Amino acid sequence: MLPLVDVAPLLADARDETAVLDVARRLDQACRRFGFVRIAGHGIATERRERLTELASTFFTLPVDIKAEIAMARGGSAWRGWFPAGGELTSGKPDGKEGIYFGEELGPEHPGVVAGLPLHGANLFPVEPAGLGPAVVEWMSSMTTLGLVLLRGLALGLGLDEHWFDEHVTAASSGSGPTTLFRIFHYPPDFGGDDDWGVREHTDYGLLTILAQDGTGGLEVHSPTGDSWVEVPADPDVLVVNLGDMLERMTKGLYRSTPHRVRNTSDIGRLSFPFFLDPSWDATITPMPLDALDNVDVSSGARERWDGADVHVWTGTYGDYLTAKVSRAFPELFARTAR
């Protein structure tokens, strides 16, 4: 089973340095072995998660024509809004889920919007239920705060200054903050596909993913030993944190961006709420200044990835990497908005 870490000491107003360092050590161990960790003591009230779940459930029960009022095609290059079951691809095949894409709310005067950068713009919030938009904004704010705290814990676990990520990865030269994205996914029980995959094997792209779930299982993580899969308990009050490709690249594989997948076998459906805390859009991702990485040769010994790619030889900004990945998930949308 994946380790469970109480991260409350990282969030406490009066810090107990011994407790903070113990949490940092446990997070570091989980990242090295699994690339996944379950966290308690995260400070997110049960009532807030239940409210978000209730609102999301209401939205997904609406008729298709109502949901389509915020279809992703209406969001243009911002790539925000709803997509139907089968509308997103993983490894070139349709997922057995529908969902809504959200991101940081950016007005028309934002430099990224003016420049027409993908994934920059305003969100498409539904009219019904009216409370979903405010709940999403509040959730994203809380997840951003929590994610930055977790990164400080990881920095300590790696033996760096706790603000290393703040200074080098999530605050670019332009002054922009981290790239933050949020999804609400619904796995309907009657998708009608040719298999039971809600999402096929994949890795995430950035730094951290913080996942809230309902009580329905389905998430599986590739075991660090052998070719087996570990089922993740579906405890709504425990958040699941996993690492993205950029952290694997930054640590030369010391930390794992672990493949995972979702089986869609529930007869009642499933809701999940992944939040992605990623590097700044214009950040260039290079290995961290760690003595342990000095003798690691990623050019010849990079761990074989699920997709045959090698994140260690990739070059460019994080925005380049993210755009390339998301464009494969929505190739038709990308083709229309890239014109």
Is the per-residue pLDDT at 334 higher than 90?
no
What letter represents residue 136's amino acid? Answer: V
- The C-alpha atoms of residue 239 and residue 273 are separated, in whole angstroms, by 10
Is the per-residue pLDDT at 191 higher than 80?
no
Is the per-residue pLDDT at 303 higher than 60?
no
pLDDT band with cut points at 50, 70 and 90 for residue 251: very high
Is the per-residue pLDDT at 192 higher than 70?
no
339 Cβ contact list (under 8 Å, min separation 6): none
Ramachandran bin of 92, using left for φ above 0, alpha for ψ from -120 to 50, beta for the remaining angles: left
Is the per-residue pLDDT at 173 higher than 90?
no
Q: 72-76, 137-141, 312-316 — which is least confidently predicted?
A: 312-316
More confident residue, 255 or 332: 255
- The C-alpha atoms of residue 48 and residue 30 are separated, in whole angstroms, by 27
What letter represents residue 215's amino acid? Answer: G
Q: What is the pLDDT of residue 154?
A: 98
Identify the structural domains of the chain with CATH numbers, from first to last: 4-337 (2.60.120.330)
- The C-alpha atoms of residue 239 and residue 23 are separated, in whole angstroms, by 16
Residue given tokens 């994203």 in the structure block:
140
In the beta sheet, which residues pair with residue 208? 243, 277
Is the per-residue pLDDT at 124 higher than 90?
yes
Q: What is the DSSP letter of 312?
A: T
Average pLDDT over residues 117-123: 94
pLDDT band with cut points at 50, 70 and 90 for residue 237: very high
pLDDT band with cut points at 50, 70 and 90 for residue 91: confident
Q: What is the pLDDT of residue 193?
A: 61
Is the per-residue pLDDT at 302 higher than 60?
no
- The C-alpha atoms of residue 280 and residue 177 are separated, in whole angstroms, by 6
Average pLDDT over residues 256-262: 94
Q: Which of 85, 78, 89 is nearest to 99 (CA)?
A: 85
Average pLDDT over residues 328-337: 84
Average pLDDT over residues 62-86: 95
In the beta sheet, which residues pair with residue 36? 242
Q: Do 2 and 221 form a contact (C-beta atoms < 8 A)?
A: yes
pLDDT band with cut points at 50, 70 and 90 for residue 308: confident
Average pLDDT over residues 329-338: 82
pLDDT digits (tens, 9 = 90+) for 6-64: 999 999 999 999 999 999 999 999 999 999 999 999 999 999 999 999 999 999 999 99
Edge to edge, the sheet with strand 208-213 lists: 4-6, 36-40, 239-243, 208-213, 270-278, 179-187, 98-103, 81-83
Whether residue 129 has a cis bond before it, omega within 30° of 0? yes
CB atoms within 10 A of CB 32: 16
Q: What is the pLDDT of residue 306?
A: 66
Distances (CA, A) of 264 to 49, 261, 320: 22, 10, 31
Percent of the chain past pLDDT 70, that is, above it, reads 94
Per the structure block, which two tokens stand in for 171? Answer: 């605050």
- The C-alpha atoms of residue 43 and residue 8 are separated, in whole angstroms, by 7
Dihedral sign for Cα 50, 51, 53, 57, please.
positive
**How high is the mean pLDDT of the chain?**
91
Percent of the chain past pLDDT 90, that is, above it, reads 76
Is the per-residue pLDDT at 300 higher than 60?
no
Average pLDDT over residues 142-148: 97
Is the per-residue pLDDT at 319 higher than 80?
yes
Four-point Cα dihedral 40, 12, 147, 240, nearest 10: 0
Is the per-residue pLDDT at 172 higher than 80?
no
Ramachandran bin of 276, using left for φ above 0, alpha for ψ from -120 to 50, beta for the remaining angles: beta
Ramachandran bin of 312, using left for φ above 0, alpha for ψ from -120 to 50, beta for the remaining angles: alpha
More confident residue, 155 or 293: 155
Q: Which of 129, 113, 109 is nearest to 121 (CA)?
A: 113
Per the structure block, which two tokens stand in for 303? Answer: 């761990």
pTM of the shown model: 0.95
